[in-house]
Structure 1
Amino acid sequence: MLPEYIFIGPHKSGTTWIDHYLRYRGDVALPALTKETFYFDKLYERGEGWYKAQYGDREPGKRICVEVAPSLLDKPEAAKRVARDLPNVTVICTLRNPIDRGVAHYFHHLKGGERDMGFRAMAKKHPELLSNGMYAKHLAMWVDLLGPDQVKVLRYDLLAQDAAAYCQKIDALLGLPENMPPANVLAARINEDGDPPLRWLARAGRRTAETLRFLGAHRLVNLIRTPGVRRMIYGPPPEGDRRGRIRDEAMEYYSTFRDDFMQLNAAFGVDVSDWEHSADLQTISVREAAQ
């Protein structure tokens, strides 16, 4: 069994929440023990047999097979592999305001033990804070490989505004019947950022989780990801004033995305006019920051 749909990211655009929702449904086949397999970008040498084994046999009642793989959007070699191995797959990009996404990515690195060095220094060390937000550029690559009918977009904004409507959008893109989840699923705060009290412990925790994941010890990784253990290692979410400071610094790069905004509209018909005015970008909700 292989995926018919792949959510290709980018990072920090609600993909963990999407995986959580699809698992709640019960009629979608997903990797059994982990959110993402990293097959097409990091573990391709393990072969298709290994990849299929992550899903197992199609169980009764499973309508479609899906992977949520936010590391794929900006990887040319991975995109070529997807197009070659899954020529009929539909890929879905979750579009989030690139400034907000970059800020969330900053705090993702902070949670992993990086020091609070400021957005400019973090973006220099980790260029993906900015490059992951060049959506039109990356989408053009996928369209060239798969064709426009197999490349879809989903606006992240709706998740923060109306999670129920967001579920309906997901269902429509995947050709699934609507299945409205209960309030605890809609309001779930998945993959929250943290402010580690001990940065060395956070770095060790992340390295350990990555090592276990690539060894296939997903059950142990899931133990590390339980709320109590996560809070002990990664700390509570950063305070709002720190988010505000980092966001003010990130706004320095706003002009970097202007041409990409125009291409999104012209090439893909995606209206991002609400991103094009800096006055509209001054407030970020706690929910958005946490995804």
Structure 2
Amino acid sequence: MTGRLPDFLGIGAQKAGTTWLFKMLNFHPEVAFPAGKEVHFWDWQRERGIDWYAGLFARAPADRKVGDITPGYAAISPGGIAEVRRTMPAAPLVFIARNPIERAWSAALMIARWGLMYPRELSDAWFLDVFRSGQSQVRGDYAGCLERWMAEFPKEQFLVLLHDDVVADPRGVMDRVCGHLGIDAAIPRGWPDARFAERVNAGDGEPLRESLRQPLRDLYAPRVAAFSRLIGRDLSHWLR
């Protein structure tokens, strides 16, 4: 194999703060992302082969930890996760979860923009079809995603973060990230407040339609309860 494999993976969730995590870690002098954000090897480009993947990270300085933050990895198959485990058995894993109602709305707005559509022109039925699609539901089933990954990797290799905490206490979150990845936590402690003040998912823009709020509550209530049990944290405010 020519090159090197990532030292850590950010596996998701989509529209939950992974871009913020990428930006913060990119400022850290002990971390490098030579392949950029969202490499999509383990979900979209596996057929290119592990040598191609390793080659993406070959030019990184030897004294830096290299990462691959691709939120789509949360939703890969059990077989795909088993392959990650065989290939990168000791890699620390980072997962950020956002209120799945907000996440689903944010993702739907992104899909609308990809289609060059104005959200105000789209019906409730269009949004409900997106919310009920298989991909949307898998990406919002945090407990299901993590349970599939935890069937292969030990729990101590996971750092599970909440978007709520990224917004409320970004410094504290970054401290935890540094500890999990084994990089110097003192460096971000010296960063100016303005660096941490960058809004997370600032591009969502359009507020959630009230007509869609209850259908989304009904859709995600069981998933929120399951995730709350998994991480041992009360998340009932996500449904209010």
TM-score, length-scaled by structure 2: 0.84
Q: Which residue of 2 aligns with 1:40?
A: 42
Equivalent residues of 2:9, 2:94 under 8 A apart: yes
* Cα distance change of structure 1 residues 56 and 184 upon mapping to structure 2, 3 Å threshold: farther
Q: Does 1:132 align with 2:95?
A: no
The residue type equivalent to 1:15 in the other structure is T
Cα RMSD, aligned residues only: 2.3
The residue type equivalent to 1:183 in the other structure is D
Superposition deviation, residue 6 in structure 1: 0.8
Q: Which residue of 2 aligns with 1:104?
A: 106
Q: Aligned pair count?
A: 228
Superposition deviation, residue 89 in structure 1: 1.9
Superposition deviation, residue 192 in structure 1: 4.8
* Cα distance change of structure 1 residues 119 and 54 upon mapping to structure 2, 3 Å threshold: farther
Equivalent residues of 1:120, 1:250 under 8 A apart: no
TM-score, length-scaled by structure 1: 0.70
Q: Does 1:249 align with 2:212?
A: yes
Equivalent residues of 1:37, 1:54 under 8 A apart: no
Equivalent residues of 2:101, 2:217 under 8 A apart: yes
Q: Which residue of 1 aligns with 2:184?
A: 177
Alignment of 1:144-223 (within 5 A): 144-178=151-185, 179-180=187-188, 181-189=191-199, 192-193=202-203
Equivalent residues of 1:93, 1:154 under 8 A apart: yes
Moved over 4 A (4+): 189-192
Q: Distance in 1 between matches of 2:41 and 2:181?
A: 22
Q: Deviations over 1:59-104 (max 9, x none)?
A: 1541x22211101111114323212211222222101111111111
Q: Distance in 1 between matches of 2:15 and 2:23?
A: 14
Q: Which residue of 1 aligns with 2:226?
A: 263
Classify the secondary structure of the residue corresponding to 2:61: coil
Classify the secondary structure of the residue corresponding to 2:42: coil
Q: Does 1:275 align with 2:238?
A: yes
Q: Which runs of 5+ in 1 are unaligned?
A: 194-236, 279-291
Superposition deviation, residue 243 in structure 1: 1.3
Q: Distance in 1 between matches of 2:10 and 2:229?
A: 23
Classify the secondary structure of the residue corresponding to 2:43: coil
Equivalent residues of 1:119, 1:250 under 8 A apart: no
